Structure 1
Amino acid sequence: MTDGRTRIRAVYPGSFDPFTPGHANVVNRARRIFDEVVVLVAVNSSKHPGLGEEDRAVAVRAILPADWTSVTVAAWSGLTSTYCRHHDIGVIVRGVRNTTDLRAEYQLAAMNQSLGVPTVFLPAQPELAALSSTVVRTRLSPC
């Protein structure tokens, strides 16, 4: 039996190289807003991750708590809006840490909106705002 309400599915795309506590925080907040969240491990032609998207997707799934049953992880190499259309996903979630992120994300959001998929921005928690995948990678790299 359903309550007649339309379920809202969201996608949270990123290269996630690596997946950080900030990313996990965005997923946690998104899963409380939307009925389902797909963490979409995507290819970004301007980035050169150490692992392929399938391996990064496996790593992300291993980090997420098992009881987050409304969250799935998928790998994808096309446009996020195409994934959304093919999988009946109504909204894109993006985390933003600062005004630089917001400017870049706003341009992507405008493009995705023109393709029929709106974007919701979730601001970073203050204690996580300085953390980026680049910073984490730098800390993990041997000197």
Structure 2
Amino acid sequence: MSTSTARAPGRVRVRAVYPGSFDPFTAGHLNVVDRARDLFDEVVVLVAVNSIKHPGADQEERAAAVRAVLPVEWTSVTVAAWSGLTSAYCRRHEVGVIVRGVRNTTDLQNEYQLAAMNQSLGVPTVFLPARPELAVVSSTAVRMLGERPPSTRP
């Protein structure tokens, strides 16, 4: 696990949001959160509703599952459930940036379109590429196999 770096005095604190359906929350998701902790002062894991996906649990249950796997010492990370636009959450809660993990070029193409929309709404996106050994793990595949997600160690 990484450790957050010291912040320069007088520097503006930057809050980030990491949105997703997280059905289930995988080791890849945990790794993105861990790396985002090094980049931003606070990270909100935003358990969102995606009308295209049909999660096996409601967003409050998924949020509780995410909270359960986050290390307690990660005090700069919180979890919230949200059913609106991510950019609306960011404006309402003074979040300056959206974090998105990308596993491959298909993810990047899809995420780029969302990033362009969010940028037009005033919220930039930072992409974090998946670690190679985690790039093959997807929530959909884990759910379809009916297995527990792989180790949630970052």
* Common topology (TM > 0.5): yes
- In the alignment, structure 1 segments of 5+ residues that lack a partner are none
Q: Tell me the residue number matched to 1:68.
A: 74
Q: Tell me the residue number matched to 1:109.
A: 115
The one of 128, 137, 140 aligned to 2:143: 137
The one of 110, 115, 127 aligned to 1:121: 127
Q: Tell me the residue number matched to 2:11.
A: 5
Residues in 2 aligned to 1:139 and 1:20: alpha-carbon distance in whole angstroms: 13
Task: Output the TM-score relative to the length of structure 2.
Answer: 0.89
The one of 18, 28, 31 aligned to 1:22: 28
Residues in 2 aligned to 1:48 and 1:140: alpha-carbon distance in whole angstroms: 15
Q: Secondary structure at the match of 2:73?
A: coil
Alignment-mate amino acid for residue 3 of structure 1: P
Deviation at 1:65, TM superposition (A): 0.5
CA deviations over 1:62-105 (Å, ceiling 9, x no partner) = 01100000000000000000000000000000000000000000
Q: Secondary structure at the match of 2:123?
A: coil
Task: Output the TM-score relative to the length of structure 1.
Answer: 0.96
How many residues are treated as equivalent by the alignment? 140
Deviation at 1:140, TM superposition (A): 1.8
Displaced runs of 4 or more, over 4 A: none
Deviation at 1:23, TM superposition (A): 0.2
Give the RMSD, CA atoms, in angstroms: 1.0
- In the alignment, structure 2 segments of 5+ residues that lack a partner are 1-7, 148-154
Residues in 2 aligned to 1:39 and 1:68: alpha-carbon distance in whole angstroms: 12
Alignment-mate amino acid for residue 25 of structure 1: N
- Correspondence 1:33-44 to 2 at 5 A: 33-44=39-50
